[in-house]
Amino acid sequence: MRHSPSNAEPTGPVSLGRAIEDNVRVFQILPLITDASSSGEVISLFREAVAGLGADAGFFLSCVRDDATRTSFRSFWACDPAWPAEYASQRWFEHDPWLRYASCDAEPTRASYLNCSSPEENAFIRAAAEHGFASALIAPAPSSVGLSRVGVLCLGSADPERFMGESYPRVRVLARALAMELHHSIAISMREELLRGASLTEADLHLLRCEAAGQSSKVIGAAMHLEAKTIDSRFQRVNAKLGAPDRRTAVRIARLYGLL
Amino acid sequence: MNNLQLPEVTPSASAVVTRPSVKRRIDPIDAPARPLGNKRLALIAKRTNAAASTSYRNAKRIAAGDTLLANHDGTVTFLLRATSYGLLMERTQRQASGMRLVQTMVFHDVKSFDRWCAVEPLRFDDGLLYCKLGREGHAAFTIKR
């Protein structure tokens, strides 16, 4: 990529041609993200895409609300290493206006168009600006499970005018596609991680499918020629594997992570 | 003779619907999770803390060549892996409230890794682990992949 962080919005036929070339490269990168075999490869492609979109920095955050007590954030970072460290230490995910926007809107937008609703959100914007997000493009990645799983791609630049030029409509479309690909990639890795960590068997998944179909222990037991109490105790083991307080939550988690 | 036909009696709509008790309820997937009672919340918190304190057990599950480091109570873990793209680091932060933040990043050179180390919050909380993290990170850069 030929993008330089200090460059302003490309002007003139040569610069415009280069910008379009970079955008074409981003378009080629998109399918590679889903096919990537490791998170290292995904981040490497992500970093290349960030540069191709004319941004200096980027991060992608996926938020999954597993149950009433548990929320998981997974993120990829291609930016100043100090920013993820500060994001974790300051617990910015609790006051992230960009994540809040992604939870209620699906349209990519400029960060400058968003209204901050609290002093903490204003502090977040100031902190982000110090780490290469003086201007930012926010691309939400909605999912089929609504608010239970939301992703947001944040592309940033030290140049306050970076996302104000004529290339914005093109970058917006590519950013949306990039956000969706990264969200999909994270969803796959989370699914694999859960399967590996919980050691769920096919019999466990069968039980969860029966529960998802609304069948009671009696009905499941009758079909399997087992006592209802046996089914109950099997469900207890499945709940423990998934860290769920009850079987309804276990089904919710299994569906959120694409196991059913 | 009375030819009047009696109206055919059909069961009302409510009578044919399966009783709710027969079918178990399912939580809507696209809505906020069902809130739990205080007793159950306390139980879940206890289990979460117990699981976090045994995070070293997870070290057995990591792939060969990976390094897993955890602080004393298991609330923060670091997974380091030398890859052809650079040093891959996965930082996981857990809290008793049930929040879990996983940050994945790749350091292409020692300089960027050192810059991250200089601001890592753990440097004040667990000095020993912080030193070990720095050593393992630098060692990973020497591994050719």
Domain, as residue range, for A210: 199-256
| Chain B residues closer than 8 Å to A249 by CB | 27, 33-34
CATH number, residue A149:
3.30.450.80
User: Taking CB atoms and an 8 Å cutoff, what residues of chain A touch B65?
Assistant: none
How many angstroms away from the CA of A65 is the closest CA of chain B?
7
Residue A173 has a pLDDT of 96
Check residue B74 and give its pLDDT: 83
Whole-number pLDDT of residue B96: 63
Digit-coded pLDDT (tens) for B89-118 = 999 998 766 789 999 999 999 999 999 999
Residue among A40, A69, A197 whose CB faces B85 most closely = A40
Q: Is residue A7 part of a domain?
A: no
| Min Cα–Cα distance to chain B from A244, Å | 8
CA Rg value for chain A: 22
Measure CB to CB from residue B29 to each of A44, A214, A255 and give the nearest one. Answer: A255
Residues of chain A with pLDDT under 70: 1-14
Residue B39: strand, helix, or coil: helix
Question: A127 and A212, same structural domain?
Answer: no
User: Is residue A6 one of the residues assigned to a domain?
Assistant: no
Judgement on whether residues A102 and A225 belong to the same structural domain of the protein: no
Higher local confidence (pLDDT), A64 or B143: A64
Residue A21 lies in a domain: yes
Residue A101 lies in a domain: yes
**Claim to verify: residue A204 and residue A176 sit in the same structural domain:** no
**Strand A70-78 relative to strand B99-107, pairing:** parallel
Query: Do the Cβ atoms of B106 and A75 come within 8 Å?
Result: no
C-beta atoms of B105 and A77 within 8 A = yes
Structural domain count of chain A: 2
Residues A188 and A203 in one domain: no
Whether A180 and A90 map to the same domain: the answer is yes
- Is A4 within the bounds of a domain? no
Please compute the mean of the pLDDT values over residues B1-16 and round it to a whole number. 55
| Percentage of residues in chain B having pLDDT higher than 90 | 34
Asked if the structure places residue A218 within a domain, the reply is yes
Cβ contacts below 8 Å, chain A against chain B, sum to 149
8 Å CB contact of A252 and B116: no
pLDDT for A70 equals: 82
The residue of chain A nearest to residue B24, with distances taken between CA atoms, is A214
> Which residues does B117 contact at the CB level (< 8 Å), separation at least 6?
B123, B130, B133, B134, B137
Pick from B24, B34, B51: CB nearest A215? B24
B35 and A68 within 8 Å at the Cβ level: the answer is: yes
- Domain identity same for A139 and A229: no
pLDDT at B94 (0 to 100): 87
Q: What distances in angstroms separate CA B17 from CA A84, B9, B14, B20, B107, one per listed residue? A: 54, 17, 5, 8, 60
Window 174-233 of A: residues touching B by CB (8 A cutoff) are 196-197, 211-212, 214-216
Pair of tokens at residue A257: 């992570």
State the DSSP code for B90.
E
What does the pLDDT average to over B45-55? 64
Give pLDDT tens digits for B51-85. Answer: 655 554 554 456 777 899 998 888 899 999 999 99
Residues A159 and A245 in one domain: no
* Residues A234 and A129 placed together within one structural domain of the fold: no
Is there a single domain that holds both residue A132 and residue A187?
A: yes
- pLDDT above 50 (res B15): no
Final residue of a domain: which of A154, A174, A194?
A194
The amino acid that residue A142 corresponds to is P
Last residue of a domain, one of A172, A194, A216: A194
Residues A189, A207, single domain; the answer is no
Residue B95: what pLDDT?
78
Q: CA nearest B122 in A: which residue? A: A89
A164 part of a folded domain:
yes
Under 8 Å between Cβ of A80 and B111: no
- One domain for residues A151 and A209: no
Cα–Cα dist A220/A211, whole Å: 9
CATH of the domain at A226: 1.10.10.10
Does residue A212 sit in the same domain as residue A149?
no
pTM of the model: 0.84
Checking if the pLDDT of B17 tops 80, the result is no
- Residue contact B107–A81, C-beta within 8 A: yes
- Chain B residues touching A66 at Cβ < 8 A: 33, 98
Residues of B in contact with A216 (CB under 8 A): 22-24
- Rounded to the nearest angstrom, the minimum Cα separation between A161 and chain B is 27
CB burial of B35-72 (b: ≥16 within 10 Å; e: otherwise) equals ebeeeeeeebeeebeeebeebeeeeeeeeeeebbbbbe
Minimal CA separation from A41 to chain B, in Å: 7
Residue A58's pLDDT is what?
Answer: 97
The domain boundary, picked from A178, A194, A210, lies at A194
